[in-house]
């Protein structure tokens, strides 16, 4: 495609591409933008190296003039969009790329891969932390997804409100708080549950979390308290009927004088299980599989479409395909969130080719990330993760309360278009 466009000359036309979602995953009330920081970090070093160029050449994937273009590739355009952590709705203009067609075209897979993956995880994380209603959630899903996706998933879960992650590489790269836990294998390795608990407490102190369900939960709790005493940090429950179990384990801990020992629950939790546990005396949730697989929506379904490009006279022309059930809206988009006098979101207002009319309460949504090839400060690195988590917390609290309902429903606010008066 690039080669053919270079040959026809059209590759050099200035173009506007837009990443957006036609719809939210079935039943979801809002989405959460994530991955923008990772994308901008990748963009800063995005080029084609010799082994890559040799592959393209050796296998005649592209011709020599296209190879020469790729060898010199460096993105020189501009990128704007929704801040990482911001909520989004159908047709929100999440990312806009302005450059030559060729440059924007080359970035498509990178942009969509990162946004689709990270936004899917952050959107699931947000539902879970909403259901957890203030109790800390711990990301523990690394073993259930691709090894590099796991690091990105840990990052995205923090943006969606998680407190910490068991992924140490995510801690190293992004400064994310990390926590560990002991597995059943640690207990089975030792000659008895008591020997395992003694080994763990000897090495990690009485404030550690002991996994008490390897054999018999009641005996496990009693042994844990005997070994660690009143200072035992937490017990972890990973099987069985967690609601009932948490209640009697809490009672047992209290009866044994361990009223400050916390209860951590894990075991295939998702937002629905977390919601069910709201009435149980649980202190924190460890979430794995369902989080890193987007809780039923493992990809955010974003697409990347050419919405405007220059003609031979340099005039920008809005373009859109007319394909059945996949039509799109041409033209550069602007966006704001319409808020009422109390600051509650009413609508996602998308201006097609124009800035939407803003009243006093509305909040503009589009930020500049890259200008003429230069990534702007503040959107990358560990600080961007904290900033995105903060943005998300402020963004979601603005939504109508129905956004926290877990039942399937429509987007919690509608998307409205403003177009120039004709």
Q: Smallest gap, in angstroms, from Cβ of residue 61 to a copy of itself? A: 7
Binding pattern for the stretch 310-339 against a copy of itself, x by CB under 8 A and - elsewhere = -xx------xxxxxxxx-------------
Q: Smallest gap, in angstroms, from Cβ of residue 378 to a copy of itself? A: 23
Residue 13 or 337: the one with the smaller Cβ distance to a copy of itself is 13
Residue 308 or 395: the one with the smaller Cβ distance to a copy of itself is 308
Q: Smallest gap, in angstroms, from Cβ of residue 83 to a copy of itself? A: 21
Residue 106 or 413: the one with the smaller Cβ distance to a copy of itself is 106
Residue 120 or 335: the one with the smaller Cβ distance to a copy of itself is 120
Chain CA centroid to CA 149, Å = 11
DSSP characters over 95-124: EEEEEEHHHHHHTHHHHHHHHHHHHHHHHH
Cα(138)–Cα(171) distance, integer angstroms: 13
CA distances from 371 to 90, 114, 377 (A): 26, 20, 11
Q: Smallest gap, in angstroms, from Cβ of residue 374 to a copy of itself? A: 23
Q: Which of residues 172-191 bind a copy of itself (CB under 8 A)?
A: 172, 178, 180-191
Q: Which of residues 85-124 bind a copy of itself (CB under 8 A)?
A: 101, 105, 108-110, 112-114, 116-118
Please count the CA atoms within 13 angstroms of the CA of 321 that sit on its side-chain side: 8
Q: Which helix (H) or strand (E) holds 324?
A: none
Check residue 21 for interaction with a copy of itself (CB under 8 A). no
262-265 and 234-237 as β-strands: parallel, antiparallel, unpaired?
parallel
Q: Which of residues 194-223 bind a copy of itself (CB under 8 A)?
A: 195, 198-200, 202-204, 213-216
Task: Kindly report the number of other CB atoms within 10 A of residue 183's CB atom.
Answer: 11
Closest CA to 62 of 73, 72, 54, 51: 54
Q: Smallest gap, in angstroms, from Cβ of residue 72 to a copy of itself? A: 18
Q: Smallest gap, in angstroms, from Cβ of residue 236 to a copy of itself? A: 11
Residue 301 or 400: the one with the smaller Cβ distance to a copy of itself is 301
Closest CA to 17 of 90, 110, 100: 100
Q: Smallest gap, in angstroms, from Cβ of residue 31 to a copy of itself? A: 15
Q: Smallest gap, in angstroms, from Cβ of residue 369 to a copy of itself? A: 18
Partner residues linked to 398 by β-bridges: none
Q: Which of residues 22-61 bind a copy of itself (CB under 8 A)?
A: 42, 51-52, 55-56, 59, 61
Q: Which of residues 254-313 bind a copy of itself (CB under 8 A)?
A: 267, 289, 292-294, 298-299, 301, 304-306, 309, 311-312
58 is written with which tokens?
């050796």
Selected binder of a copy of itself within 125, 150, 225, 413 (CB under 8 A)? 150
**What are the residue ranges of helices labelled H in 236-370?**
242-255, 271-276, 289-292
Residue 289 or 346: the one with the smaller Cβ distance to a copy of itself is 289
Cα(116)–Cα(132) distance, integer angstroms: 24
Residue 243 or 319: the one with the smaller Cβ distance to a copy of itself is 319
How many residues bind to a copy of itself according to rule CB under 8 A? 93
Q: Which of residues 334-373 bind a copy of itself (CB under 8 A)?
A: none
Partner residues linked to 303 by β-bridges: 20
Selected binder of a copy of itself within 144, 222, 363, 405 (CB under 8 A)? 144
Longest dimension (CA), the chain: 82
Q: Smallest gap, in angstroms, from Cβ of residue 391 to a copy of itself? A: 22
Residues 6+ apart with CB under 8 A from 214: 184, 187, 188, 193, 220
Q: Smallest gap, in angstroms, from Cβ of residue 38 to a copy of itself? A: 9
Residue 313 or 359: the one with the smaller Cβ distance to a copy of itself is 313
379 is written with which tokens?
């959107």
Residue 39 or 384: the one with the smaller Cβ distance to a copy of itself is 39
Closest CA to 375 of 36, 124, 35, 20: 36
Q: Which of residues 220-239 bind a copy of itself (CB under 8 A)?
A: 238-239
366-371 and 31-32 as β-strands: parallel, antiparallel, unpaired?
unpaired
In this structure, what is the dihedral angle of CA atoms 76, 80, 84, 86, given to the nearest 10 degrees?
Answer: -170
Residue owning tokens 């990534």: 375
């Amino acid at each position: 495609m690039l080669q053919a466009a270079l040959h026809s000359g059209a590759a050099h036309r200035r173009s506007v591409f837009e990443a957006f979602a036609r719809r939210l995953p079935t039943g979801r009330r809002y989405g959460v933008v994530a991955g923008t920081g990772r994308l901008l970090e990748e963009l800063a070093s995005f080029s084609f190296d010799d082994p890559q160029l040799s592959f393209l050449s050796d296998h005649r994937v592209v011709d020599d003039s296209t190879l020469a273009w790729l060898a010199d590739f460096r993105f020189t355009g501009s990128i704007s969009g929704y801040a990482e952590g911001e909520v989004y709705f159908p047709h929100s203009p999440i990312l806009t790329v302005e450059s030559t067609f060729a440059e924007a075209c080359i970035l498509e897979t990178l942009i969509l891969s990162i946004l689709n993956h990270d936004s899917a995880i952050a959107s699931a994380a947000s539902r879970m932390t909403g259901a957890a209603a203030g109790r800390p959630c711990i990301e523990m899903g690394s073993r259930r997804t691709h090894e590099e996706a796991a690091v990105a998933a840990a990052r995205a879960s923090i943006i969606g409100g998680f407190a910490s992650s068991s992924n140490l590489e995510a801690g190293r790269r992004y400064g994310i708080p990390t926590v560990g836990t002991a597995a059943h294998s640690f207990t089975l390795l030792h000659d008895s549950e008591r020997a395992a608990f003694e080994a763990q407490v000897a090495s990690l102190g009485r404030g550690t979390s002991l996994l008490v369900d390897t054999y018999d939960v009641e005996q496990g709790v009693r042994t844990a308290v005997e070994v660690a005493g009143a200072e035992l940090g937490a017990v972890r429950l990973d099987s069985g009927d967690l609601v009932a179990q948490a209640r009697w384990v809490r009672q047992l801990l209290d009866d044994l004088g361990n009223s400050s020992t916390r209860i951590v629950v894990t075991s295939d939790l998702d937002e629905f299980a977390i919601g069910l546990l709201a009435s149980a005396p649980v202190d924190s949730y460890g979430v794995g599989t369902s989080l890193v697989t987007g809780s039923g929506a493992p990809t955010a379904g974003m697409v990347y479409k050419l919405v405007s490009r220059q003609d031979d006279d340099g005039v920008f022309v809005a373009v859109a395909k007319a394909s059945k059930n996949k039509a799109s809206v041409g033209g550069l988009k602007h966006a704001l969130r319409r808020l009422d006098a109390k600051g509650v979101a009413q609508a996602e207002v998308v201006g097609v080719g124009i800035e939407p009319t803003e009243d006093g309460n509305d909040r503009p949504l589009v930020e500049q990330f890259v200008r003429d090839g230069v990534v702007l400060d503040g959107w990358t690195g560990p600080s961007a993760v904290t900033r995105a988590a903060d943005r998300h917390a402020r963004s979601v609290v603005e939504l109508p309360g129905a956004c926290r309902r877990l039942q399937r429903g429509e987007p919690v606010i509608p998307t409205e278009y403003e177009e120039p008066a004709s």
